Amino acid sequence: MKISIKVLTIILILATAAGIASCGPAVINDQPAEATTEETTENPTTTENPATTESRPLDFKEEDLTWELRNVFAGDYVKNETVMFIDKGDTKELLYKIDKVISVTSYNGKKKYVEGEDYEVVDGKLRVTENSKIPCITSKKYYKGDGTLVVDVDGESKSVYWGEGTVMTNYQVNVEYTHSDTWNGYKQKCFAHIYDKLYAKLEAGEDVTVVFYGDSCTYGAASSFTYGYAPRQYSYALLVTNALADIFGYTVHYEKPTLEGTGPVPRKDYVAGERGTITYINNSVGGWTTSNGVSNFDKYAKPYIEKHGCDLFVVDLGGNDGDLAPEKTAENDRKIINKALELAPDAGVVIISTLLNRPGSNWAGNDALQEPYLVKLSEELRNSGVPCAVCGITSMTASVLEHIKFEDFSGNNINHPNDFWARLYANTLFETLIGYENLK
């Protein structure tokens, strides 16, 4: 199933407020699933809005967040937006029109490129020069894939380069720049005010537990920390959990995953203060579908919630459900959430809508259609008294793709975020759960 950005935008207008993020498989031998031919019900037309417009002011300055949490969707400065040039002489658009380039470096930050020699700014865009030292993959190599990723290019199906680890990031560079224009795309809404019980405990210095339960993107693919190379940036789940510790003066204790398929955590606890401890549990597994999430809950989530409790449950599945009707994906999420609430009835819930498997490719399927059903589920749960919101990664991704190319911010060119996209993920979850407007 091939879905253009224009069509996807129309679909996502139905869900203009918030959604949830799941991702594609971490197992690189997984094969794409064809979109289902099963009939689906009409898309929900509800949009998610906060139950009230209350704010939750926090005694913390935004500039005191780590730079990775700086809000890319606000302000006049972007650090380390990534770009991948195909051929020498190519020009790339960034999220914003460039006013001034501060630096262009290699993905790992070890090489610095020179303006006027390696690149130049042309009408607010970045152009790589013909004699640049910036690595360019070349069209010949880029369009000579192994058949795993097939993309529609101007009406022609082409096999495209892809891969895990540094396969993509070897050709991506970081751009630090200033801009005058403002973000006019998707803006996540803040739901901090509905998580009263979580915030009451944090404000009182009580210990809390945050549980992430998802697929490869929540596992950490393709963050450089997870894959073990510079600059070793954390995944979105780690970034946002550590931000909570920064704001409230807590220590994060990382529960080391021991189950098959789960990802790494930092060796040492993150200490931002000693007011209390946030226990971080992330037993996400690459390649999982929502059905896998249901069937594996008793092994991968239940014992940990029984032992540590759960104050915030973040479910991030659906990117591998491209062959499943979207309402069934939402129903599986409902089953998972109900299981978590049976064990921890006071827990807050965040549902993350999936990032997009590369639009226009053989990996694109019903993943693009899930967000409205997740919004409906979230509203139903909230109306029943469960603090629940959707973090709209689907909408965010579609909006970003109106400006930049998929290869510019993907870690594998199919369905995993690189470090920059992981930061956009973290920005969106931070806004959902905490809210930049609530900082001083």
CATH fold of 5-73+185-438: Rossmann fold (3.40.50)
Phi, psi of 204 (to 5 degrees): -90, -5
C-beta atoms surrounding 362 within 10 Å:
23
Closest by alpha carbon to 247, among 110, 93, 103, 436?
A: 436
* For residue 21, cis peptide bond before it (omega within 30 degrees of 0): no
DSSP string, 188-240: PPP-GGG-HHHHHHHHHT--EEEEEEESHHHHTTT-HHHHT-TT-PPPHHHHH
Closest by alpha carbon to 302, among 268, 271, 339?
A: 339
pLDDT tens across the length of the chain (440 residues): 334 444 344 344 333 333 333 343 333 333 334 444 344 445 554 456 555 557 899 999 999 999 999 999 999 999 999 999 999 999 999 999 999 999 999 999 999 999 999 999 999 999 999 999 999 999 999 999 999 999 999 999 999 999 999 999 999 999 999 999 999 999 999 999 999 999 999 999 999 999 999 999 999 999 999 999 999 999 999 999 999 999 999 999 999 999 999 999 999 999 999 999 999 999 999 999 999 999 999 999 999 999 999 999 999 999 999 999 999 999 999 999 999 999 999 999 999 999 999 999 999 999 999 999 999 999 999 999 999 999 999 999 999 999 999 999 999 999 999 999 999 999 999 999 999 999 99
3-state class percentages of the chain: helix first, strand second, coil last, to nearest 5: 30, 20, 50
pTM, to two decimals: 0.91
Do the beta carbons of residue 212 and residue 278 sit within 8 Å? no
Portions of the chain given CATH number 3.40.50.1110 = 5-73+185-438
DSSP single-letter state for residue 437: G
Distance CA(331)–CA(290), nearest Å, equals 9
Q: Dihedral of CA 298/304/309/315: which sign? A: negative
**Cα angle 292, 325, 33; round to 5:** 65
Tokens matching residue 240: 């946002």
- 85: Cβ–Cβ under 8 A, 6 or more apart, which residues? 92, 128, 134, 135, 136, 137, 171, 173
Do the beta carbons of residue 104 and residue 129 sit within 8 Å? no
Q: How far is CA 217 from CA 26, 67, 343, 426, in A?
A: 8, 21, 25, 12
